[in-house]
Amino acid sequence: MTPTRPKHAWMRETYRKSVEKMPERPVAHKTLSDIAPEPLYTPEDLKGFNYDEKLGHPGEYPYTRGVYGSMYRSRLWTMRMFAGFGTAEQTNERFKKLLAAGQTGLSTAFDLPTLMGYDSDHPLSKGEVGKCGVAVSSLADMEILFEGINLEEVTTSMTINSPANAIWAMYLAAAKKKGYRWEKLGGTIQNDILKEFIAQKEFIFPPEPSVKLVIDTFEWGPRNVPKWNFISVSGYHIREAGSTAVQELAYTLADGFEYVEAALKRGLDIDEFAPRISFFFNAHNDFFEEVCKFRAARRIWAKQMREHYKAKNPQSWMLRTHAQTAGVSLTAQQPLNNIARVAIQALAAVLGGTNSLHTDAYDEALALPTEDSAKIALRTQQIIAYESGVTHTADPLAGSYYVEWLTDEMERQAMAIIEEIRRMGGVVRAIEEGYFLREIADASYRYQQEVERGERIIVGVNAFQDEGLQVPIQLIDPEVEKVQNARLAQVRRERDPVAVQMTLEGLRQAAREGRNTMPHFVECALAYATLGEMMDELRAVYGVYEEPVLV
């Protein structure tokens, strides 16, 4: 397949003459990770390319082409729209409407007090209840949230981190009270605390005890809820904080390896917990870079798990991932343009081989999605799935000279960063030294400078500007806070205070003694102990983390 005319000859003769007549456009001819593609890729750029080593068939090591042999010909990705606002009743209604519209999995957004481990009536919760997600303070809220939904038939994802153990316990308690069998339940808790220290900053406890709580779920989960993914190692928020695609790839996998090493130190069997580790990546605007990021992620994970960590079970080598289109890319200016952005990003995730997908609503730069905008976002996935034809064959872009070169380059750069983090002593040490904060801030600043100089065009923002259409905005009724606090007060009145105190004492003792906390979280949930009460027990044992000021 080598061309008879070398690439350098084409560049010298054909391309040079072309740009003399038509100069290159004065924009950044480079990816969002600052990788500068050449004008042309040929077999010369893939010298020594070994199909078995670099690609392999779908469903086979190194899983570059996908973790399942038949991919979307047998089963489409899970269409899992992120939803949550106001009270449990309101979100339950949205869940049911999305399921009726063809959604195939649930994804739960929690409000800020819940994410930070506070009850809705805590002074710090005032004005934030139900604003950016659903308010959940006790098992009573969780029961209402999933009322009328068969938890053995629908998988549920919950975006929760510091209080992940408590929220998962409430979900399991709600399922148990309804008679559902835990061995039949499927879903995911995000539970990725390291990326909170790196990017999102919704941490409660210091890094060490925070990671300990995560590993409690690694140890307890496979033996009690075997179909559940007890962590979704998340690059999404790292990207939303301003990282490049390569940084997102490297930092996310480095976090995953850090959890693997912590679990091994606990004495856990890698082939017992590794198959239930899942991932969560961003799908941004640079189409080919995003496709290649997913492919490189699977290959890096497979190689490291098999060769570095010596996992024996092929299930341990498979990187399974959820993806979400890039909220940070959405613009408040001309918001209907976001429909096109989301479609392109979703297509990149699908061609990259994602296993699950959320598509953002076009109005999310302005407010919480309306019912109509959320449905358009879901319909975008359905059009890709049923009308575009991209599901007919696995990894249809494989063999493209550019795609294979870019996948290799992203793998090379990401592994260089991962090795740098390892030399620093691991992710926790890098967090303490401010490494991630500096690197992401620098990348974000470079990108913004390119936008302000006009080197990167954002349609409707720094080019093609006009007034744009006004779109309806969904606001949260302030009455939500009153309704939520009234239910919380009722729970406190009607529960057994002795049982609550006993279960909270058991949780505190387990934390003090370094034992697994998950059984105690479940007992607390069943006794209707509140989220804030459970987190306060751990605050008393572990302390509260304050991020150091970097100078």
Over range 422-451, report the average pLDDT.
96
The packing angle between helices 164-177 and 518-526, to 10°, is 50
Rounded Cα distance, 108 and 548, in Å: 31
The answer on 314 and 243 residing in a single domain is yes
The answer on 368 and 240 residing in a single domain is yes
Over range 321-341, report the average pLDDT.
97
Alpha helices (runs of H) in 178-206, residue ranges in sequence order: 194-195
308 secondary structure, DSSP code: I
Residue 215 tokens, joined: 């590993």
Cβ(190)–Cβ(180) below 8 Å: no
Alpha helices (runs of H) in 187-286, residue ranges in sequence order: 194-195, 207-224, 236-240, 245-265, 270-273
Over range 188-216, report the average pLDDT.
97
Residue 205 tokens, joined: 């406890």
- Residue 473 pLDDT class (50, 70, 90 cuts): confident
Q: Is the pLDDT of residue 475 over 80?
A: no
Residue 381 tokens, joined: 């996935």
- Domain-embedded: residue 28: no
- Domain-embedded: residue 51: no
- Domain-embedded: residue 35: no
What percent of the chain clears pLDDT 70, i.e. is strictly above it? 99
Instruction: Give residue 551's pLDDT.
Output: 64
Q: Is the pLDDT of residue 2 over 80?
A: no
> Of 430, 453, 476, which marks where a domain is finished?
453
The answer on 448 and 521 residing in a single domain is no
| Sheet containing 105-109, strands listed edge to edge, beginning at the edge strand earlier in sequence | 228-229, 187-189, 156-159, 105-109, 78-83, 356-358, 321-325, 277-283, 231-234
Q: Is the pLDDT of residue 472 over 90?
A: no
The answer on 433 and 523 residing in a single domain is no
Q: Is the pLDDT of residue 368 over 90?
A: no
Rounded Cα distance, 143 and 174, in Å: 5
Sign of CA dihedral 253, 255, 258, 264: negative
Instruction: Give residue 378's pLDDT.
Output: 95
- Domain-embedded: residue 337: yes
The answer on 532 and 423 residing in a single domain is no
The answer on 501 and 428 residing in a single domain is no
The answer on 255 and 181 residing in a single domain is yes
Amino acid at 311: A
- Residue 474 pLDDT class (50, 70, 90 cuts): confident
- Residue 450 pLDDT class (50, 70, 90 cuts): very high
Q: Is the pLDDT of residue 385 over 90?
A: yes
Over range 219-224, report the average pLDDT.
97
- Domain-embedded: residue 505: yes
Burial class (CB in 10 A: 0-12, 13-18, 19+), 25: exposed
The answer on 537 and 416 residing in a single domain is no
> Of 421, 453, 485, which marks where a domain is finished?
453
The answer on 538 and 421 residing in a single domain is no
Instruction: Give residue 1's pLDDT.
Output: 65
Alpha helices (runs of H) in 371-473, residue ranges in sequence order: 371-387, 401-424, 427-432, 435-452
Instruction: Give residue 110's pLDDT.
Output: 97
The predicted-structure confidence for 95-133, as pLDDT tens digits, reads as follows 999 999 999 899 999 999 999 999 999 999 999 999 999
Rounded Cα distance, 261 and 426, in Å: 10
Rounded Cα distance, 431 and 203, in Å: 13
Residue 253 tokens, joined: 């996998």
- Domain-embedded: residue 39: no
The answer on 506 and 423 residing in a single domain is no
Instruction: Give residue 547's pLDDT.
Output: 87
The answer on 383 and 244 residing in a single domain is yes
Phi, psi of 285 (to 5 degrees): -80, -30
Sign of CA dihedral 129, 132, 137, 143: positive
CATH number assigned to the domain comprising residue 67 = 3.20.20.240
Average of per-residue pLDDT values in the chain: 96
Cβ(388)–Cβ(347) below 8 Å: yes
The packing angle between helices 518-526 and 531-542, to 10°, is 150
Cβ(197)–Cβ(238) below 8 Å: no
The predicted-structure confidence for 247-284, as pLDDT tens digits, reads as follows 999 999 999 999 999 999 999 999 999 999 999 999 99
- Domain-embedded: residue 316: yes
The answer on 189 and 263 residing in a single domain is yes
Rounded Cα distance, 404 and 410, in Å: 10
Instruction: Give residue 60's pLDDT.
Output: 98
- Structural domain containing residue 72: 63-453
Rounded Cα distance, 210 and 114, in Å: 16
- Domains of the chain: total: 2
> Of 453, 482, 503, which marks where a domain is finished?
453
- Domain-embedded: residue 289: yes
Q: Is the pLDDT of residue 86 over 80?
A: yes
